[in-house]
Amino acid sequence: MTNSTSRIQAVIFDMDGVLIDAKDWHYQALNDALGQLGYLPITPEEHETTYDGLPTLAKLKALATIGRVPDDLAVYQTINGLKQELTITATKRLCRPYAPHLNVMQTLKAQGRRIAVASNSVRSSVDEMMMLSGLAPYLEFTLSNQDVPRAKPFPDLYLEALRLLALPASACLVVEDNPKGIAAAQAAGLSVLVVASVHEVTDENIQQAIRQLETFLSDAGQQVTPQSTVFYANQLAHKTPAHL
């Protein structure tokens, strides 16, 4: 169980780019779906600056505004359906347990901290990736973009996670990699550990972020609850969290 003085009772993870190195799988699957149906692909530059972190339907609606696909629900559903099939195929081929992440989960569980996933991916992708990665048994619940009215960058996923945990934002830490996800967590009043890749999601980084956040909240006292702070994994040893 967590120590009685522990303030951080739960850690909520994003999935793609945090627990699963699947961002390229999603990108390639959507481009393959667009190409098979006769539409232009999303360039790497477009993906990086505009589309990364958005749900597929949001990407398609954005493409429609610039004339790259028809603004038609049936077209969206056709492209999205093919994209999800291609994503699941890639997931089954590529998704495997990753020892550092299993270690993260085991330590959090041993400490009595609760663990959840809040992802902008669809339910089928979340379930498949969590199962194949071996992480599913450690999770209290998972949330997909189909479980809330609005996906990230809106705060709905993280607000729903807080509701299910029945915890205040000040008792939780979010792990995110994408500006849209970071914005969603901050809009929900949550503190965020920002990682550059799945390789920064380590036992050492998670535990250091928890220690620094608990120290910060303890020093701040009861006057700043809920609190939204941000840590960067590559600066944990010497960075004070920014109060945003």
- Condensed to tens digits (0 to 9), the pLDDT of residues 55-76 reads 999 999 999 999 999 999 999 9
Q: Which of 217, 179, 190 is closest to 51 using CA atoms?
A: 179
DSSP per position, the chain: ---TT----EEEE--BTTTB--HHHHHHHHHHHHHHTT-PPPPHHHIIIIITTS-HHHHHHHHHHTTSS-S-HHHHHHHHHHHHHHHHHHHHHH----HHHHHHHHHHHHTT-EEEEE-SS-HHHHHHHHHHTT-GGG-SEEE-TTSSSS-TTSSHHHHHHHHHHT--GGGEEEEE-SHHHHHHHHHTT-EEEE-SSGGG--HHHHHHHHHHHHHHHHHHGGGG-S--EEEEGGGTTT-PPEE-
Residues counted in the chain: 244
Whether residues 66 and 103 fall in one domain: no
Whether residues 161 and 200 fall in one domain: yes
Residue 3 lies in a domain: no
pLDDT attached to residue 6: 78
Residue 1 lies in a domain: no
CATH number of 69's domain: 1.10.150
Pick from 94, 125, 146: which residue ends a domain? 94
- Condensed to tens digits (0 to 9), the pLDDT of residues 131-147 reads 999 999 999 999 999 99
Whether residues 82 and 117 fall in one domain: no
Cα(226)–Cα(70) distance, integer angstroms = 43
Whether residues 143 and 87 fall in one domain: no
CB 152 within 8 A of CB 120: yes
Average pLDDT in the chain: 91
Whether residues 198 and 102 fall in one domain: yes
Whether residues 185 and 236 fall in one domain: yes
Please give the share of the chain, as a percent, with pLDDT higher than 70: 91
Residue 2 lies in a domain: no
CATH number of 181's domain: 3.40.50.1000
Q: How confident is the model at residue 238 (pLDDT cuts 50, 70, 90)?
A: very low
pLDDT attached to residue 228: 74
Residue 173 lies in a domain: yes
pLDDT attached to residue 218: 82
pLDDT attached to residue 210: 95
Contacts of 56 (CB under 8 A, 6+ apart): 26, 30, 79, 80, 83, 84, 122
Q: How confident is the model at residue 94 (pLDDT cuts 50, 70, 90)?
A: very high
Residue 194 lies in a domain: yes
Pick from 94, 118, 140: which residue ends a domain? 94
Pick from 94, 110, 138: which residue ends a domain? 94
- Condensed to tens digits (0 to 9), the pLDDT of residues 214-232 reads 988 887 664 444 457 899 9
Residue 119 lies in a domain: yes
Q: How confident is the model at residue 244 (pLDDT cuts 50, 70, 90)?
A: very low
- Condensed to tens digits (0 to 9), the pLDDT of residues 154-203 reads 999 999 999 999 999 999 999 999 999 999 999 999 999 999 999 999 99
Q: How confident is the model at residue 44 (pLDDT cuts 50, 70, 90)?
A: very high
Residue 232 lies in a domain: yes
Q: Total structural domains in the chain?
A: 2
Residue 76 lies in a domain: yes
pLDDT attached to residue 237: 57
Q: List own/partner pairs for 137-142 with CB under 8 A and 24 or more apart.
A: 138/105, 138/106, 138/108, 138/109, 139/115, 140/10, 140/114, 140/115, 140/116, 140/164, 140/165, 141/116, 141/117, 142/116, 142/117, 142/118
Domain that holds residue 60: 23-94
